[in-house]
Structure 1
């Protein structure tokens, strides 16, 4: 009996444990889901001030012309630049014969901040001059003609419209002499001297202190054409004239006095002769009477 009761308890226990094991465990409560982090709205780009567009050149670059310094040492050799650009042989020769090249080189060295600008006529421009024109000029005018093609300041290809007319040249010995007028419009730069009008056709060379531009005419200064003011004629001194007149009058008076004196002497002489004749006649008459 006890064994049957024990067996029943074991059977019930096994049945209970198997039932418990068959049941699925209760699902653990889910943790509340965290809300997805909201992404910050993309910041709107702050409008930046647009960079100024580079100034458009008023003068086009020539295809065959150097755009950088051809001398690796950094020295600006104007003769070498013109020779490399070709077709400037006449200008090279005149720069040398007038020795203006020395003045230009010296000025370029001493005015690094200001620089120089050279409107350079090509060989064709010089050939259009009247035959023998340059040789017909005096030595001073020959130098002035070459100096007239040099501006004592650097003008970039996009900065011609900032010039104030009239523009001084290296030949300007005063604010009124040897000047040019520069007019920039569109993509054209015109130079006028009052005698010649020409246009810059391209860049021969340009850096930060030296610019050489090609022009198709020789710049003839108006100062070579207009007559120079004549010096006023000195006023005629009246005093010497009056003295001359007085001198002439004195001479006339002296001449008249001499004439009067001569006449008086002549009259006196005649009177003396008459007296002598009268005395002689009287003596003769008295002698005749005595004899009778």
Structure 2
């Protein structure tokens, strides 16, 4: 019995329908949205950072950027222990805008794996900016090793655990908060130059019209007039002492002579 035209058409289309169904089943769905806060929450030691990202809305900004970014992003994530190293009141002393800047200072506007840091050209621009332009960091690494350090001008911070590293996002843990030099100053102020010691045997110069220091009075040599006066006084004193001795000697001689004369009178 011959098949109906409709059945024949259906029979011929069956292979194509099966292929279409199979393609629909294996076709991948849309790529899952990258979630920075989810990565940090999974890490388990970034509570302070998560609160700051939420309060400043930087988490929303980064999520939006990741959807359309061609270069990707790199994020340095300070741990709770890192925030505990800050002086008490540091975060509360920042304005809302400064807190936003602090969070964006931890974001590089490009995806960097640990190996690509070795060929990176310093300084690297962060997403924080101010009156002087974009804030930057210097990243150095040891060739052949995964030792990476981030220098801000305030401190040098080693990069720790890799929390996530798949384009377009890399997230690295750090044990210190990255502090921009523009907000927190340099690492240390210059120490005052030490005063030069006074050379031995050399007295300080007297100010015009001022009194001479005590040690200079002691070290000062007497003038010629003073020396002559002292010499005259010493000569006069010596002469007086000699005259006194001579008077005493004549007095003794006179006394002896009187005693002898008295004895002669008594005998006579």
- TM-score of the superposition, structure 1-length normalised? 0.51
More strand by percentage: 2
1:147 aligns with 2:104: yes
Q: Distance in 2 between matches of 1:214 and 1:220?
A: 15
Q: Post-superposition shift, 1:140?
A: 1.1
Deviation string 1:45-104 (CA, Å, 9 cap, x unpaired) is xxxxxxxxxxxxxxxxxxxxxxxxxxx961111111110111011111100001111111
Q: Distance in 2 between matches of 1:220 and 1:226?
A: 9
Q: Post-superposition shift, 1:174?
A: 7.8
Match of 2:175 in 1: 216
Match of 1:82 in 2: 40
Deviation string 1:121-159 (CA, Å, 9 cap, x unpaired) is 000000111111111011111110000001110001211
* Structure 1 residue ranges without an equivalent (≥5): 1-71, 228-292
Answer whether contact 2:71 2:111 (CA < 8 A) is retained. yes
Answer whether contact 2:108 2:126 (CA < 8 A) is retained. yes
Match of 1:119 in 2: 76
Q: Post-superposition shift, 1:225?
A: 3.0
For the residue of structure 2 that corresponds to 1:177, the secondary structure is strand
Match of 1:284 in 2: none
Match of 1:97 in 2: 55
Answer whether contact 2:139 2:148 (CA < 8 A) is retained. yes
Is 85-94 or 166-175 further displaced after alignment? 166-175
Match of 1:207 in 2: 166
Q: How does 1:6-17 map to 2 (within 5 A)?
A: none
Deviation string 1:161-197 (CA, Å, 9 cap, x unpaired) is 1211111001135885311000011331000000021
For the residue of structure 2 that corresponds to 1:120, the secondary structure is strand
* Cα separation, partners in 2 of 1:206 and 1:187, compared to 1, 3 Å: closer
What root-mean-square deviation, in Å, do the aligned CA atoms of Structure 1 and Structure 2 show? 1.8
**Correspondent of 1:171 among 118, 125, 128:** 128
- TM-score of the superposition, structure 2-length normalised? 0.55
Answer whether contact 2:154 2:185 (CA < 8 A) is retained. no
1:182 aligns with 2:139: yes
Q: Distance in 2 between matches of 1:117 and 1:183?
A: 15
Deviation string 1:219-265 (CA, Å, 9 cap, x unpaired) is 000001349xxxxxxxxxxxxxxxxxxxxxxxxxxxxxxxxxxxxxx
Q: How does 1:1-292 map to 2 (within 5 A)?
A: 74-111=32-69, 113-172=70-129, 176-185=133-142, 186-226=145-185
Answer whether contact 1:177 1:223 (CA < 8 A) is retained. no
Deviation string 1:198-223 (CA, Å, 9 cap, x unpaired) is 10112011112100001110000000
Question: How many residues of Structure 1 are paired with residues of Structure 2 in the alignment?
Answer: 155
For the residue of structure 2 that corresponds to 1:178, the secondary structure is strand
* Cα separation, partners in 2 of 1:166 and 1:206, compared to 1, 3 Å: same
